[in-house]
Amino acid sequence: MIVFCYGYTSFAPWSVSDFFIYYTLLLLAPITYFGWKLVKRTRLLKPLEVDLVWERPIIDNYEMTFIDPPQSFWSEMLGPLMFWKHSKGSDKQMNLEG
């Protein structure tokens, strides 16, 4: 409901450019979604058909490689002041290069 009312300003006074700005993506999104489904001949999967239990450890391990360890409040606040201290991410990057 909100998505359809988002561009209400394009109706009073009528503005063709505002209408296309607000409502083009609303029309384009379903067209591209169903177009992909037709071209690639994919189908919707039921929740019971999707196997997330056995592949979850692999996905979790992959995602953990991108997460930095949490920092304490003070180390995060004083970090910009300690310009002489290298961050852990830069050490890993230097080891990979050298």
CB 6 within 8 A of CB 22: yes
Residue 45 lies in a domain: no
Residue 56 lies in a domain: no
pLDDT tens for 56-66 read: 888 889 888 88
pLDDT at position 38: 96
Residue 46 lies in a domain: no
> In one letter, which amino acid is 5?
C
Residue 23 lies in a domain: yes
* pTM of the shown model: 0.44
- Burial level of 42, CB count in 10 A (0-12/13-18/19+)? exposed
pLDDT at position 89: 52
% pLDDT > 70, the chain: 79
Residue 68 lies in a domain: no
Residue 25 lies in a domain: yes
pLDDT tens for 33-73 read: 999 999 999 999 898 888 778 888 888 898 888 877 778 88
35-43: which pairs have CB atoms within 8 A and are 24 or more residues apart? none
Residue 91 lies in a domain: no
- State the Cα–Cα distance between residues 53 and 59, nearest whole angstrom: 10
Residues 6+ apart with CB under 8 A from 71: 79
Residue 17 lies in a domain: yes
- Domain count within the chain: 1
- State the Cα–Cα distance between residues 58 and 75, nearest whole angstrom: 32
Domain of residue 29: give its range: 1-40
